Amino acid sequence: MLEYQDMVRLWGEDGLLYLPPDRVERMTFDLSALPPEAAIPAQVPLLFTAYVEGDFELFNVLEIQVGENEALGLLVLGAVPDEKMYYCLDGDSGAVMLLDLGDTTGLEVVNSTLGAFVEFLYHLERLIRADQGKATRALPAARLREELSALDPAAFTDTESWWNVAFAQLEGRT
């Protein structure tokens, strides 16, 4: 389980942002599913940036209607760098969702909890920092996929999920 001190060692105090308490108070899911200190990294190369530009601002609450279902209250956490794709926290379920505003609008579950999402980012940042190039990347990426699959199986259920696609690239399968 990821500890706050591990996050500080990897990203530094200045490399962490904290969910605003007034937004956290409105959430209905089990708050123990949040990462330590309700902290998220400011950036993870290629995967995540909290420096949101364009359509939304960091920690804004969005009301998204999906089909005939009741509107979802989503808290903007960040974006995929250089894409119109936004990571959002579902205030009811605690899941991290990816809102894609590209050519076709879509919404998919990335992780079942924000704690799992931050832990994924933590391990991927470590993998990125240790990376010595494409020739040696596949095996460590495959091992990490196994570890993360055990941590949050829902993140890998769909073969076209965000994390399955990301790991296919890391493992050199695409």
**Same domain, yes or no, for 106 and 132?**
no
**Same domain, yes or no, for 79 and 164?**
no
Please list the rounded mean pLDDT of every run of 10 residues in the chain (174 residues): 96 97 86 93 95 89 78 90 94 93 86 97 94 84 96 95 93 82
In the block, tokens 């399968």 appear at 173
Specify the pLDDT at position 133: 80
**Same domain, yes or no, for 40 and 55?**
yes
Give all strands (DSSP E) within the chain, no chain letters.
16-18, 39-41, 43-44, 48-49, 61-64, 72-79, 85-90, 96-100, 106-111
**Same domain, yes or no, for 57 and 136?**
no
**Same domain, yes or no, for 8 and 30?**
yes
Residue 144 belongs to domain spanning: 118-170
Specify the pLDDT at position 162: 94
Specify the pLDDT at position 135: 77
**Same domain, yes or no, for 66 and 145?**
no
Specify the pLDDT at position 25: 84
For the stretch 138-163, pLDDT in tens is 899 999 999 999 999 999 999 999 99
Specify the pLDDT at position 140: 94
Residue 64, CB half-sphere, CA atoms under 13 Å: how many? Answer: 25
Tell me which of 98, 113, 128 is where a domain ends.
113
Specify the pLDDT at position 93: 92
**Same domain, yes or no, for 43 and 88?**
yes
**Same domain, yes or no, for 27 and 61?**
yes
How far is 108 from 135, CA to CA, in rounded Å? Answer: 31
Tell me which of 93, 113, 133 is where a domain ends.
113
**Same domain, yes or no, for 40 and 102?**
yes
Specify the pLDDT at position 73: 84
Tell me which of 71, 93, 113 is where a domain ends.
113
Q: How many domains does the chain have?
A: 2
Specify the pLDDT at position 112: 97
